[in-house]
Amino acid sequence: MKIWKYAVLALVAVALLAGCATQETVDTKNIPDFYLNPPFAEDAIYGVGDAKMSSLSTSRTMALSRARDDIARQVEVTVKNAITDYAQEAGSGDNKQVIEFAETVSRQLVDTVLRMAKTKEVAVGEDGTVYAMVEYGTNSLVEAAQETFQRNEAAAFAEFKADQALQKLNAELQNNPPQAGQGGGQ
The pLDDT of residue 8: 46
19/17 Cα distance (integer angstroms): 5
Q: What confidence category does residue 145 fall into, taking pLDDT thresholds of 50, 70 and 90?
A: low
Amino acid letter at 1?
Answer: M
Higher pLDDT, 130 or 71: 130
Look over the chain and give the mean of its residue pLDDT values, rounded to a whole number: 78
The pLDDT of residue 164: 74
Residue 55: Cβ within 10 Å count: 9
102/16 Cα distance (integer angstroms): 11
pLDDT at residue 174 above 80?
no
pLDDT at residue 7 above 80?
no
38/110 Cα distance (integer angstroms): 21
The conformation of residue 177, written as its DSSP 8-state character, comes to -
51: β partners: 130
Give residue-wise pLDDT tens across range 74-109: 888 777 888 888 888 888 888 888 888 888 888 878
Strand 118-124 to strand 95-109: parallel, antiparallel, or no bridges (unpaired)?
unpaired
Residue 184: Cβ within 10 Å count: 7
Of the candidates 119, 118, 115, the residue with the CA atom closest to the CA atom of residue 146? 115
The conformation of residue 2, written as its DSSP 8-state character, comes to H
- Mean pLDDT across the stretch 29-38? 93
Close Cβ partners of 101 (under 8 Å, ≥ 6 residues apart): 12, 15, 84, 85, 86, 87
Contact 43/137 with Cβ under 8 angstroms? yes
Q: pTM of the prediction?
A: 0.53
